[in-house]
Amino acid sequence: MAEPIDGPSFAALSERARANRVNLVAGAFLKRAGAIENVSVLFGRDGNLVGTYSKRHPTEGEIDGGVTPGNTVGVFDTDIGRIGLAICFDLNWRDLWAEMKAEGAEIVAWISAYEGGFPLQAYACLHDFVVVSAVQSYTGKIIDRSGVADDHQSLGQTG
């Protein structure tokens, strides 16, 4: 399933960002320099790639499947502020969240297969940034700088 950054999935994401004039964050498996990385990609409103972040803490299953851990922090400038990127299991390493704050993150986009719960709220409050989650099997949330996830802000819900 991994493909190069110029592959069809990335091209489709780029086109969606451009067509809808949105900053778009998505997860995928990237094939780069012979390695497979679990990445979060950020496309700007113009469809151009703003940056990629390779998951620093893949699960054992991912490592067994050939995923190579990343070793950098991903914080990028956009027209709405500096956006940090984190993926799933990265939730469990406080140093990554502190590094995103040190790099000036104002918003962190966290994509995951699980909800994340209280730690996301704690990181938002502790580091004074907004956390936007996109979760595979739950409703994503917007958590404000005080650590509150207002039900009316939850993504995918109306009211």
150 pLDDT band, cuts 50/70/90, is low
Burial class (CB in 10 A: 0-12, 13-18, 19+), 80: exposed
Handedness of CA 2, 7, 8, 13 (dihedral sign): positive
Of 60, 122, 136, 64, whose CA–CA distance to 94 is shortest? 122
What proportions of the chain, in percent to the nearest 5, are helix, strand and coil? Answer: 25, 35, 40
Assigned superfamily of 8-143: Carbon-nitrogen hydrolase (3.60.110.10)
pTM of the prediction? 0.90
User: Is 22 a residue whose pLDDT tops 80?
Assistant: yes
User: Is 157 a residue whose pLDDT tops 60?
Assistant: no
The predicted structure's pLDDT at residue 91: 96
Question: Each residue of 80-124: pLDDT tens digit?
Answer: 999 999 999 999 999 999 999 999 999 999 999 888 889 999 999
